[in-house]
Amino acid sequence: MTNEQHIQFLIKQADEDFGATEALFQAGYYGQSLFWAHLTLEKLCKALWVYINESQNYPFIHNLIRLLKECNNELSDEQKLFYAEMNQFQAAGRYGDYLKKLESTVTLDVCKKLITEVKNQMLWIKQQMENE
């Protein structure tokens, strides 16, 4: 698989994961929805990493801020706060006790706000791959 094929594969996976994000949101599973939203962003960050670094050996990490830093992207303060908040959800789908604790803080409005920003960041990350 070429780097470009790998990038397209990750983007396709991210778009499919975002479909799961929306379905879980509609079903009222807000914590799980945000876990899948994190996966969406993680796959796009890894696609960007492949694009920038011209290598398919992206780091096997879940930290969105660290992935973006390794792409030499400057994040605004708002983006740093958003990605830090989203990083909380990478563990939510893996550890049931953590999910229960986190779910109690995720309301409909909080989830809706975060998903709206996920959409914005999906576009931003994809644009980074067009602008290089």
Q: Are 41 and 86 in contact (CB under 8 A)?
A: yes
The total of structural domains in the chain comes to 1
**pLDDT at position 78:** 97
pLDDT, tens only, 72-128: 888 999 999 999 999 989 875 566 677 677 777 889 999 999 999 999 999 999 999
Of 93 and 51, the structure prediction assigns the larger pLDDT to 51
**pLDDT at position 50:** 96
The predicted model scores a pTM of 0.92
- DSSP code, position 56: S
Domain range for 64: 3-131
Long-range CB contacts (within 8 A, 24+) of 89-98: 89/31, 89/34, 89/35, 89/37, 89/38, 90/35, 90/38, 90/39, 90/42, 90/62, 90/63, 92/31, 92/32, 92/34, 92/35, 92/38, 93/32, 93/35, 93/36, 93/39
**pLDDT at position 68:** 95
CATH of the domain at 9: 1.20.120.330
**pLDDT at position 122:** 98
Per-residue pLDDT at 132 exceeds 60 = no
pLDDT, tens only, 9-36: 999 999 999 999 999 999 999 988 999 9
Count of C-beta atoms within a 10 Å radius of residue 77: 7
Q: Specify the length of the chain in residues.
A: 132
